[in-house]
Amino acid sequence: MENNGNVQETVKPDVDGNVQEAEKPSENKKPQHNNQNRNNNNQNRNNNNKNNNSSKPNQNRNKGGGRGRRRQSTPVDENLKKFVAINAEAHKQRLNPHYKLDLNSKAKIRITPLGGLGEIGGNITVFETENEAILIDVGMSFPDEDMHGVDILVPDFTYIREIKDKIKAVIITHSHEDHIGAMPYLFKEMQFPIYASPLPLAMIGNKFDEHHIKEARRHFNPVVKRKIYEIGNDFKVEWMHMTHSIIDSSSLAITTDAGTVIHTGDFKIDHSPVDGYTADLHRLAYYGEKGVLALLSDSTNSYNPLPTPSELTVAPAMDRVFAKAEGRVIMSTFSSNIHRVQQAIQYGVKYGRKICVIGRSMERNIEIAMQYDYVKFPKSIFIEPDQIAHMSDKDVLIVTTGSQGEPSSALFRMSIGEHRHVKIKPTDLIVLSSRAIPGNEGSISGMLNHLQRAGATISREKDIHVSGHASIPEQKLMIRLVNPKFFLPVHGEYNHVMAHKETGMMCGVPERNIHIMNDGDTIEVAPKYMRKVKSVRTGKTYIDNQNNHKIDDDIVIDRQKLASDGIVMIVAQIDGQHSKMLSKPVVTTFGLVADKQDKYFAKEMEDVLEHFLINIKEGLVENTRALENDLRQVVRKHIYRKMKKYPLIVPTVFVQ
């Protein structure tokens, strides 16, 4: 039992000296890190106590256990014991980010997400010092099904307008739509220097051209990874290469007087990426060693316990699928996943096929990737869509958009026989190399029905797609490399972020050093504390893609009412002097009552109107607008009572 006592004594400083107690000893109960160590100790004790057949090692020790047996204890080498303690101290210093920060600093940084939390997409975050600010990413998101006629959502820029003069730059992590898609909408209103690696800038440039703000390209500042850029007086930013489902992605190290904050952007850790450019783990570790104030990390896949496979792992599946194809192969994936497209093209070429790229975003992205030498293919392997008809089916690979079943996409149009150059044949093999984005399952299934009706074979094997986001093991690696004092899980719905919080605690971040942010929360972070200081306005602006114009909120609300509850129009003529109807009102409804009940409903409305006129407030008839408003209220109440519906009500009253 003396040995047990020794184990307990030597490990104890490690336990006590950890992250939490350095700051507030009283709260040293919750943190996982300590618990983990304690568990280990318990395990040790249990093991050592096995011979005693004791299930309660603590009690045993307290009572001076080991009574049942005498044995000679091994002499303790005091010098060795000293080194155990010294090592424990070294671990404490190594593991505790608290000791690595400048605790005398009064500096602080404020972090405000304006989108991207409680939702997938629409990422935009403000980093602010006393006098300056930077924006990290300016992304868009997609509407819910009930936002009729809305194509995309752009974050509400109210807060950005408020602090416009403080903003020194827009910083971009990578070129997915949910990180750059709202750039043209922001830049039509206000412009700032844009810092990003080349591919995001090329993609943003295309957007600016489409939106007729070519001149905004003058704000481009291409960056070199691993170089530190001074932005304004307060910010130093380094782009660190990251692997993700789009090439040229980055994590950011943002250093201010308060310390360094690491923002991962979207990431997975791919040790064998297609282009060989692995995630820059060395730089992350460098900052981790130096001391990191806070980590903001991607939560998208925080439920997945298995590591996300490398992009390269889709190659064998592609080879298998392409090898057995007898007719044309039509491959669809996210057009931004250049490495996926590149691999498909390689296997197409391997099996002697020519490549036809169809779909606007696919054509544009491959063009950019080739123009800027991210991928290299001889021009001779490509054919135009009108050449397909003149070639043998076995010689054709079509790479196209539509993996989400979008009705305007090339693959969808092929599936319903409306594509100009490609009609689906029974010998066609359709390869869907993607997963369904939540909400798109219905449209994908619909498209698959059409494709199969046309006789095509569908291949959507699991191993022909891999995710671009970190699973739990990679999230753990990120936390351990960066070793932050404070942890802010980002990118994802509430439940994703909460799962990521658990992972953070498992990796030694005390619970009170983790904050679950909501859009609009301003979090102040300083070496000694992190707290929410205020909330700012957030929301979404609705955009109609046909003309790139904003749709006002009330229009969308009206459309929702029309779609779910219909419309009632009431036209009435009133004798102003006697508050009486001059004739029967004309009542028209759409989407509320069935045609055969129209007459009955019209009579009901007539009664409501009559009753309304009998009880009318004095003077109301002189003000037609107020009269119509009041009438609308009365009708609304009546319809809700009887039908539990809120239709759009349009009263028109003529007073004579």
Residues that bind Zn ion (CB under 5 A): 176, 266
The alpha carbon dihedral of 290, 294, 300, 305 has a sign of positive
What's the closest the beta carbon of residue 176 comes to Zn ion, in angstroms? 4
CA-atom Rg of the chain in angstroms: 32
Distance, in Å, from the CA atom of 504 to the CA atom of 492, rounded to the nearest integer, reads: 15
CA atoms within 13 A on the CB side of 189: 13
Q: How far apart are CA 249 and CA 180, in angstroms?
A: 12
Residue 161: half-sphere exposure toward Cβ, Cα within 13 Å = 9
In angstroms, what is the minimal distance from the CB of 404 to Zn ion?
Answer: 15
Of 33 and 176, the one with the shorter C-beta distance to Zn ion is: 176
Q: Closer to Zn ion by CB, 120 or 163: give it.
A: 120
Euclidean distance between the first and the last CA atom of the chain, given in angstroms as a whole number: 104
List the one residue out of 236, 150, 241, 131 whose CA is nearest residue 197: 241
Nearer to Zn ion, 176 or 485 (CB): 176
List the structure tokens of 365: 């992205």
Q: How many CB atoms lie within 10 A of CB 280?
A: 19
Kindly tell me which of 178 and 521 has the beta carbon lying closer to Zn ion: 178
Cα-based distances in Å from 646 to 109, 363, 556, 630, 641:
47, 46, 15, 16, 10
Angle at 630 between CA 629 and CA 635, to 5 degrees: 100
Residues 6+ apart with CB under 8 A from 121: 115, 139, 140, 141, 142, 177, 178
Pick 266 or 565: Cβ nearer Zn ion: 266
Distance in Å, CB of 179 to Zn ion, minimum: 6
For the bound state, the minimum distance from the C-beta of residue 491 to Zn ion, rounded and expressed in Å, comes to 8
For residue 469, the minimal CB distance to Zn ion (Å) is 8
Beta carbon of residue 178, minimum distance to Zn ion (angstroms, whole number): 6
In the 8-state DSSP scheme, what is residue 382? B
Integer CA distances (angstroms), 184 to 116, 167, 188, 398, in order: 18, 17, 6, 31
The nearest distance, CB 461 to Zn ion, in angstroms, is: 23
Segments of 454-601 assigned E as strands: 457-459, 484-490, 521-526, 529-535, 540-544, 549-551, 567-575, 580-581, 586-590
Torsional class of 528: left (φ above 0), alpha (ψ -120 to 50), beta (otherwise): alpha
Would you mind telling me the total number of residues written for the chain in this entry? 656
The residue among 14 and 266 lying less far from Zn ion, judged by its C-beta, is 266
Which residue, 98 or 465, has its beta carbon nearer to Zn ion?
465
Q: Which is nearer to Zn ion, 267 or 412 (CB)?
A: 267
Q: Are 46 and 57 in contact (CB under 8 A)?
A: yes
Q: How far is the CB of 158 from Zn ion (least distance, A)?
A: 25
| Tokens 């001391």 belong to residue | 291
Adjacent-strand bridge partners of 540? 155
Q: What is the dihedral of CA 602, 606, 612, 618, to 10 degrees?
A: 120
Burial category of 147 from C-beta neighbours within 10 Å (exposed 0-12, middle 13-18, buried 19 and up): middle
Q: Which is nearer to Zn ion, 45 or 469 (CB)?
A: 469
- Supply the minimum distance, in Å, between the C-beta of residue 141 and Zn ion: 12
The packing angle between helices 472-482 and 494-506, to 10°, is: 60
Report, in Å, the least distance between residue 302 CB and Zn ion: 15
Distance between CA atoms of residues 366 and 355, nearest Å: 12
- Rank residues 335 and 415 by Cβ distance to Zn ion and give the closer one: 335
Between 266 and 521, name the residue whose CB sits nearer to Zn ion: 266
Q: How far is the CB of 557 from Zn ion (least distance, A)?
A: 31
Choose between 273 and 527: whose C-beta lies nearer to Zn ion: 273
Give the nearest residue (CB) to Zn ion. Answer: 266
Least separation in angstroms between residue 336's CB and Zn ion is 8
Tell me how far, at minimum, the Cβ of 468 lies from Zn ion, in Å.
Answer: 6
CB of 192 to Zn ion, least distance (A): 22
Q: How far apart are CA 255 and CA 234, in angstroms?
A: 8
Q: Which is nearer to Zn ion, 125 or 483 (CB)?
A: 125
Minimum CB distance to Zn ion smaller for 128 or for 178? 178
Which is it for strands 329-332 and 429-432: parallel, antiparallel or unpaired? Answer: parallel
- 32 vs 249 by CB, closer to Zn ion: 249
* 402 Ramachandran zone, left/alpha/beta (phi>0; psi -120 to 50): left
Smallest separation (angstroms) from Zn ion to the CB of 523: 23
User: Are 363 and 387 spatial neighbours (Cβ–Cβ below 8 Å)?
Assistant: no
Alpha-helical segments (H) within 248-373: 281-290, 314-324, 338-350, 360-371
